[in-house]
Amino acid sequence: MFPTSELSISALASAYAGDALTLAFLTPELASRIQFGWTITIHIIFAALSVGLAPFLVYVTVQEVRTGEERYARLRAFWTKIFAVGFVMGTVTGIPMGFMFGTNFAAFSTTAGEMIGGPLSFEAKMAFMLEAVALGVLLFGRERVSGKMYALSSVFVALGAWLSAFWILVVNSWMQTPRGYEVVMEGGVPIAKLTDPMAAFFNPRFPWMYVHMQNAAIISVTLVIAGIAAYFVWQNRDSDVWRTALRAAVVVLLVTSAFQAIHGDMYGRHVAETQPHKFAAMEAHYETGQADLHLIAIPTDLEAITDPRADNLYTISIPQLASFLASGGDPTAEVTGLNDFEYDSPPVAWVFWSFRIMVGLGFWFIGLGAWGTYRLWRGDLYEDERYLQALMLSSPLGFVALITGWYVAEIGRQPWIIQDVLTTADGVSPPLSSAEATFTLLAFVVGYVLLFGVFLYVLKRLIDEEAERHTVGIEEDDRPDSPGVIADD
């Protein structure tokens, strides 16, 4: 038997596996970073689902109460179930992240506890509770409360979801551009003391990050709505319920994706001013001087993927455009290269390729929105098979763009966990061993894969149930390539 003080995973690993296995473990910093990155990759899907779906729920619920039309009732019932499943999964995948601050990043929690504790408490006690209670009314109260109260519950659900994102992004944006604090030493440990909460909460990054993230969530969910609507319209061109959803999604997609491109351009200029090393990593710009913007970059070999310098890539670039964007209009402006920063560069390949995936998908979404709006104006939106198939295939791509955009923001900040205040290496829990960090990383990878699999299974069940309701009454010959489906719309 091991004494209690020795009952740690690292002790067991050393005892039974030997030094060779111990050396194979990841460092506590790297394992903790991957673990947090992996968990947020899964969790952010459900968080964005709540944020992006909430405005659509308000629209269909208010329309249902105002008009009494069955098509809005069907859409509200279906998407409220999706929202509820996403809310539960977001809660299950989000709670462990709070504990990781203590298990994996205790030094960061000690330094920034005064700053992050308040907003995270507001998120749990204000936003989460409001959203949870109102969602209960929205799920089970259609026949139990008045129409106005029912419509109001959808507004409260949306308010709770958006408030939750507000407080989370207050914390994250402060880590990018910290303000309203002073660092004091207590027992040899740096502590960030709040001196101006308003300056800390509404730091320079917050409005950029909040608008960009919320709009990205709306785009992601709009693509899911459009894809599912396209699937049902493809089955039955006369479905009034899903034609309504498809029309709304196409118009919203065009407006929000175009806005995201304009806003993203201005956001990039702000990043160049406040985090020039992140901007340099986005362009793999190593030497200080005028910078080109690489529109398309194709790696020539494996090394070019892992170390994306322009010389190692086939690129289609616009000369001096990165200088133009960084300076706000001067194509000859000097952009500081990664080699001239005093601290280590972030993992450039992750930032460079994530940025290109995000931007490339963004332009695809604008094209999809314009294509659908043109078809809607021509009056043949529901007859364009290629467009319906493109929407179905594009359903998950909004979340891909959102996740890669998050990688640009978070990985591009490295080596800092709080910009210019605390490095990630110094923020890791001092007692955490390599074995402990590696084993918990593996546990979280397996656990979150299973959770995401459960979500996909439930989502498929809900779509199948809607398909059964959707197809009742359609003659077999009316359905393209799908026998026995009938419509009740």
- Coil, helix or strand for 104? coil
d(CA 456, CA 89): 11
pLDDT at 15 over 90: no
Query: 354 near 405, Cβ under 8 Å?
Result: yes
DSSP state of 191: E
Contacts of 69 (CB under 8 A, 6+ apart): 63
Contact 417, 427 (CB under 8 A): yes
* Distance separating alpha carbons of residues 216 and 359, to the nearest angstrom: 12
As a whole number of angstroms, the distance between CA 95 and CA 321 comes to 43
Query: CB-based contacts of 82: which residues, under 8 Å, 6+ apart?
Result: 49, 53, 459, 462
Confirm if 261 and 366 have CB atoms less than 8 A apart: yes
- Confidence check: pLDDT of 7 > 80: no
Q: Is the pLDDT of residue 5 over 60?
A: no
- Global pTM value: 0.88
- b/e code 284-319 from CB counts within 10 Å (16+ = b): bbbeeebbbbbeebebeeeebeeebebebbebebee
Please state, in angstroms and rounded to a whole number, the distance separating the CA atoms of residues 361 and 369: 12
> What confidence score (pLDDT) does residue 10 get?
47
- Evaluate if residue 488 carries a pLDDT over 70: no
Tell me the CA end-to-end span of the chain in Å, nearest whole number.
Answer: 68
DSSP state string for 98-123: HHHHHHT-HHHHHHHHHHHHHHHHHI
Residue with tokens 């201005």, as numbered in its chain: 266
Torsion angle of C-alpha atoms 155, 168, 267, 223, degrees rounded to 10: -50
Tens digits of residue pLDDT in 333-367: 888 999 999 888 899 999 999 999 999 999 999 99
Cis peptide bond upstream of 415, omega within 30:
yes
Sign of CA dihedral 94, 191, 415, 329: positive
Q: CB–CB of 292/321 below 8 Å? A: yes
String of DSSP letters for 132-184: HHHHHHHHH-TTTS-HHHHHHHHHHHHHHHHHHHHHHHHHHHHHHS--SEEEE
Residue 147, φ and ψ in degrees, nearest 5? -60, -45
**Residues with Cβ < 8 Å from 457, sequence gap 6 or more?**
none
Q: CA angle, corner 442, sides to 423 and 346, nearest 5?
A: 30
pLDDT of residue 98: 84
Length of the chain: 489
User: What is the rounded average pLDDT for all residues in the chain?
Assistant: 88
Q: Rounded to whole angstroms, what are the CA distances from 442 to 31, 45, 354, 434, 447? A: 9, 20, 24, 12, 8
pLDDT tens-digit readout, 209-231: 999 999 999 999 999 999 999 99
Residues 424-453, mean pLDDT to the nearest whole number: 93
Q: Would you say residue 460 has pLDDT above 60?
A: yes
Taking a C-beta distance cutoff of 8 angstroms, is the pair 387, 372 a contact?
yes
Helix (H) or strand (E) holding 298: strand 293-299
pLDDT, average across residues 146-161: 94
pLDDT digits (tens, 9 = 90+) for 57-84: 999 999 999 999 999 999 999 999 999 9
Task: List, for residues 47-57, the tens digit of each pLDDT value.
Answer: 999 999 999 99
2, pLDDT greater than 60: no
Does 484 have pLDDT greater than 60?
A: no
Tens-place pLDDT, residues 251-273: 999 999 999 999 998 999 999 99
pLDDT at position 485, please?
A: 39
Distance separating alpha carbons of residues 65 and 52, to the nearest angstrom: 21
pLDDT of residue 23: 52
Of 120-124, 158-162, 172-176, 402-406, least confident by mean pLDDT is 120-124
Burial class from Cβ neighbours inside 10 Å (0-12, 13-18, 19+) for residue 233 reads: buried
- Estimate to the nearest angstrom the gap between the alpha carbon of 478 and the chain centroid: 39
Distance CA 214, CA 220 (A): 10
- pLDDT value, residue 297: 86
- Average pLDDT (121-136) is 88
